[in-house]
Structure 1
């Protein structure tokens, strides 16, 4: 389909654990990501969510099933570099992604590697740093920046390669709350303003609420899928999987159980206030 950025078909991923036993990290997952979409993949540790992310960028290959990126089969070796140009990847630890001693050199690293002409690199570096709000730090040393700023530099480095999609694997897990907000704001902006497809792997509810669509993983399979308003009111099911839901959604659920007639698809404090005012 022309509208598909990534398509996983019956994806299986097996690995061998420390004891030498074969385990299934991903067990028959079919999932398509539309162009321009902001998709959130939620799940706790060991649910298979990070394993799926690595298949989208050919860091792993399927043990069974298929993964297609812009229609290209990830198992065809000649496709690998083209797929990696299409899909950029941002990881959990910003320190592991930064390679240079000056911010702008770090952002230039990716485009240099793929043979972009120097004049074009200069333009891309400046544009990417402006997009993530880090242009005034271009001459700084990355190691002196905060975690959130480093992660935004890592995102700028991916943006400079002009990808169609960015997969972020728990990019805020090591950040403080203000760093997390900075990074999420940046992710939303590049999705809305630049039309770049986003796949955000996370276990934070406040981040998941902001996606167009949420996929909940459990034990290598998709347990739930839908818009945040469709997924989060299923409080009982989410708890059984071992995940929380936004506090206001849980409050609405509990009030409903007590017989108070209130919407259960509430996702923000503002919506909760409105709903409570309407009860009067």
Structure 2
């Protein structure tokens, strides 16, 4: 098997636009590799192609052109789809659409049951997955009574119970309040760091993106920037040109530099900014 979790080669996805019946490219010739164990964020405004590319990563969509391999398996081959979906789990934006049972632990058991895991093994996986996301004590609760952040953590536990190598999260915090967002991001980071599961997070929150190993920025179906958070966010003008923000402290550093103050624009958080300002003579 490949050491790459995901490999896209000249990936293209076309669709027919409703109004004029014209062909449009949602993804247009993308080359992208994601290493096993990496925490990658894909940024882009609405219509940039980021959700479309995510849906290719577990064969929900198939390419119009080019190739995508998930753990070495070609998504276009029918025989691979089952394995691909076991390897790469997906968490979506709306937690209510992902929960199927009336009791938390039954919901987490749903995926493993579907792939024919033994009942005793399912029990182990459910308990283990709920502990990993910090929701074990809620195992007998009704999901609809939980907060948005808790529901998303249950959805992540349901994917974890399938023992995936990769989890793709498509704007999982978009419908959550700030505390729910924090819960989910800290869960994602924990799973990545402690269990080596590859994370691909699609978000429009810059503070979430700043925590990744690497960021890919998409615009009009293409990758326009790629690098670690410092490299990407220091390109303030490029980001603003395509309608994206950067973390507030990075923007402040940029504005100070524009005013002639010698300061690095590779600043991601308040502590770094304080240190740099204290060193200014």
**TM-score normalized with structure 1 length:** 0.99
| 1:9 alignment counterpart | 9
| 1:206 alignment counterpart | 207
Task: Provide the rounded CA distance (Å) in 2 between the counterparts of 1:167 and 1:251.
Answer: 32
1:40 aligns with 2:41: yes
Shift of 1:264: 1.0
Task: Provide the rounded CA distance (Å) in 2 between the counterparts of 1:208 and 1:126.
Answer: 30
Task: Provide the rounded CA distance (Å) in 1 between the counterparts of 2:71 and 2:131.
Answer: 27
Shift of 1:2: 3.0
> Aligned runs of 1:98-113 on 2, under 5 Å?
98-113=99-114
Shift of 1:262: 1.1
Task: Provide the rounded CA distance (Å) in 2 between the counterparts of 1:119 and 1:101.
Answer: 21
Q: Deviations over 1:194-218 (max 9, x none)?
A: 0000000011100000000000000
| 1:251 alignment counterpart | 252
| 1:125 alignment counterpart | 126
Task: Provide the rounded CA distance (Å) in 1 between the counterparts of 2:209 and 2:188.
Answer: 12
| 1:279 alignment counterpart | 280
**TM-score normalized with structure 2 length:** 0.99
Shift of 1:16: 1.1
> Aligned runs of 1:63-212 on 2, under 5 Å?
63-212=64-213
Task: Provide the rounded CA distance (Å) in 2 between the counterparts of 1:3 and 1:62.
Answer: 22
Task: Provide the rounded CA distance (Å) in 1 between the counterparts of 2:165 and 2:143.
Answer: 26
**Residue 33 of structure 1 aligns to a residue in which SS?**
strand
**Residue 133 of structure 1 aligns to a residue in which SS?**
coil
Task: Provide the rounded CA distance (Å) in 2 between the counterparts of 1:276 and 1:2.
Answer: 45
Shift of 1:17: 1.8
Please list every run of 5 or more consecutive structure 2 residues that lacks an aligned counterpart in the other structure: none
